[in-house]
Amino acid sequence: MAALCIFAGMSLQACATIYDVHPTNYRALLHELRPGDELHLAPGEYVEGLPLSGVVGTAKAPVVIKGPTRHAHAVLLARRGHNTISIQNSAYVTIKNLVLEGQGLPVDGVKCEGHADFAHHITLENLTIRGHGNNQQTVGISTKCPAWGWVIRNNVIIGAGTGMYLGNSDGRAPFVGGLIEHNLIVDSIGYNLQIKHQAPRPELPGMPSTPSETVIRHNVFAKTAPLRAGAQPRPSVLVGHWPKTGAGSDDRYLIYGNFFYGNPAESLFQGEGNLALYNNLFVAPDRDAIRIQPHNDIPKHIVVAYNTVLAREAGIVLARGHGSEWFAQVVSHNAVFAGQPLMGIEGGENRVGSLEQSGRYLTAPHFALGALDLRPKPGALGVQDAFRDGSVLPGLHLDFDGRQRYPRVAGAYTESDGPLRWRPNLNRTPIHE
């Protein structure tokens, strides 16, 4: 145990404690954690979970719980009847550098519990979550209480029932103002990521009441395994609507720089409400790529721009729903090569063609990974005008590979004869920023 104190001039501002713990003593210290404290888990197997109740740090002094970064790992083993990392009424907590081994049990890896009042400003970073595929309802990362300000970064979730399930099926556990980036989520039985629709937002201290954004960027969402017998087909990623009125109704999703690959039974992406989907790669060997359509509400303010799409069936589908005509919906500057490239879409400077025609325009369009290169051939995907819709879209000035965008080229990549910074794969996430 060591103390770390912060001074301003000659005045003591705060002291925090660093606890070095091991599998036999860590549980006793969880209720001792105060703002700025750090709990360092030694390598080994931890069999009593990580229940966090009432652990509250501050924005400047979060509570940090972490394992080692190299060589031997701190491994949390699932136990029957208990979610491995259980969070309730906690805030400003960072959890990182841990392995969560589900052991095939019907428990979740990380869960903010449904009976909790809140869990906000939680950071999950560098977690490896495996063995959580007992059934489709077993989840890698789950939020079942009001949650805001979460950062979910650099995590690997392999073979879960559902990779991430954020929110609740009745819409009463809103996930607000989150950042989901650089995660690798592969071969979930159901969704790789679902963010549920939202009922009217509760009034809780600190919960955002002005418009906010949930950002989903630079992740890999892949489903390569056949659909398990008895499983329900699900899109790889689905985002639901925001509250229909009141606080949160003007929130939006910013979804950019992601690689979507494979889904044997459903679309790669489905969304409604307010969202911007741009600078992504979609490769759908079996089904549809993008479906913007009613689910629990309707598509509202929609931007779909500068995506490159390769799909066996539909490329981009826009099904507006009753009332959608009152909202601005722009689908433009996409490069789409599919059985049916565009459905329900009028206008927009999209470059489209059949799968058979994709080789005329793209460097190496394949469904198989390895040699896949979806950059345009020189001059192949030019459009007349730059994209303009009045939105402020972070990162739009850069292409998928992080290079300065040529705004009059459709698709996720600008024209470039240099090497790919990141060749599409299922081993690590896109290099960007």
The least confident of 157-161, 231-235, 321-325 is 321-325
Largest CA distance in the chain: 72
pLDDT score recorded for residue 8: 47
The answer to whether the CB of 297 falls within 8 A of the CB of 241 is yes
The least confident of 256-260, 324-328, 357-361 is 324-328
pTM across the whole model: 0.96
Task: Evaluate if residue 7 carries a pLDDT over 90.
Answer: no
Task: Evaluate if residue 9 carries a pLDDT over 60.
Answer: no
pLDDT score recorded for residue 14: 58
The answer to whether the CB of 342 falls within 8 A of the CB of 316 is yes
Three-state secondary structure along the chain? Answer: CEEEEEEECCEEEEEEEEEEECCCCCHHHHHHCCCCCEEEECCEEECCCEEEECCECCCCCCEEEECCCCCCCEEEECECCECCEEEECEEEEEEEEEEEECCCCCCCCEEECCCCCCEEEEEEEEEEEECCCCCCCCEEEEECCCEECCEEECCEEECCCEEEEECCCCCCCCEECCEEECCEEECCCCCCEEECCCCCCCCCCCCCCCCCEEEEECCEEECCCCCCCCCCCCCCEEECCCCCCCCCCCCEEEEECCEEECCCCCCCEEECEEEEEECCEEEECCCCCEEECCCCCCEEEEEEECCEEEEEEEEEEECCCCCHHHCCEEEECCEEEEEEEEECCCCCCCEEECCCCHHHHEEECCCCCCCCEEEECCCCCECCCCCCCCCCCCCCCECCCCCECCCCECCCCCCCCCCCCCCCCCCCCCCCC
pLDDT confidence band for 433 (50 / 70 / 90): low
Residue 125 pairs in a beta bridge with 96, 153
End-to-end CA distance of the chain: 37
pLDDT score recorded for residue 10: 44
Task: Give the tens place of pLDDT for each residue, 163-187.
Answer: 999 999 999 999 999 999 999 999 9
Task: Give the tens place of pLDDT for each residue, 76-102.
Answer: 999 999 999 999 999 999 999 999 999
The least confident of 67-71, 97-101, 214-218 is 67-71
State the Cα angle at 123 between 122 and 125, rounded to 5°.
155
Task: Evaluate if residue 12 carries a pLDDT over 70.
Answer: no
